[in-house]
Amino acid sequence: MAKKLRIGFDFDGVIAYNPLRVFRLPVTLFQKYILGKKKTYFYLPKSGFGKWFWGLLHETSVFPAVGIEDLKKLVRKGKIEAYIITGRYSFLEKSFYRWLKRHKLDNLFTGYYLNKADEQPHLFKEKIIQKLKLDMFIEDNWDIVRYLNSKFEIRNSKQFNNVEIHWIYNLLDRTKKYKNKHPYLKKFLLRIFKD
Longest CA pairwise span in the chain (Å): 53
Asked if residue 20 has pLDDT above 60, the reply is no
**Is-contact 82 108, C-beta < 8 A?**
yes
Q: Give the confidence band of 1 by pLDDT, cuts at 50, 70, 90.
A: very low
Asked if residue 30 has pLDDT above 80, the reply is no
Asked if residue 74 has pLDDT above 50, the reply is yes
Predicted confidence (pLDDT) per residue in 105-157, tens digit: 999 999 999 999 999 999 999 999 999 999 999 999 999 999 999 888 654 45
**3 state SS for the chain:** CCCCEEEEECCECCCEECHHHHHHHHHHHHHHHHCCCCCCCCCCCCCHHHHHHHHHHHCCCCEECCCHHHHHHHHHCCCEEEEEEEEEEHHHHHHHHHHHHHCCCCCCCCEEEEECCCCCHHHHHHHHHHHHCCCEEEECCHHHHHHHHHHHCCCCCCCCCCCEEEEECCHHHCCCCCCCEECCHHHHHHHHCCC
Give the strand pairing for 63-64 and 16-17: antiparallel
**Is-contact 156 162, C-beta < 8 A?**
yes
Predicted confidence (pLDDT) per residue in 32-49, tens digit: 555 556 666 676 778 777
Distance, in Å, from the CA atom of 113 to the CA atom of 20, rounded to the nearest integer, reads 23
5-192 CATH, one of 3.30.1950.10, 3.40.50.1000, 3.30.43.10, 3.40.640.10? 3.40.50.1000
pLDDT at 171 (0 to 100):
79
pLDDT at 150 (0 to 100):
87
Indicate the angle between helix axes 185-192 and 68-76, nearest 10 degrees.
40
Q: Which carries the bigger pLDDT value, residue 177 or residue 37?
A: 177
Asked if residue 26 has pLDDT above 60, the reply is no
Distance, in Å, from the CA atom of 181 to the CA atom of 124, rounded to the nearest integer, reads 22
Average pLDDT, the chain: 84
pLDDT at 35 (0 to 100):
54
pTM recorded for the entire structure: 0.84
Q: Give the confidence band of 23 by pLDDT, cuts at 50, 70, 90.
A: very low
Give me the percent of the chain exceeding a pLDDT of 70. Answer: 76
Q: Which carries the bigger pLDDT value, residue 17 or residue 76?
A: 76
CA distances (Å), origin 56, targets 26, 88, 114: 20, 13, 18
pLDDT at 156 (0 to 100):
44
Q: Which carries the bigger pLDDT value, residue 42 or residue 179?
A: 179
129: amino acid identity, one letter? I
Which sign, positive or negative, has the C-alpha torsion 82, 144, 116, 103?
negative
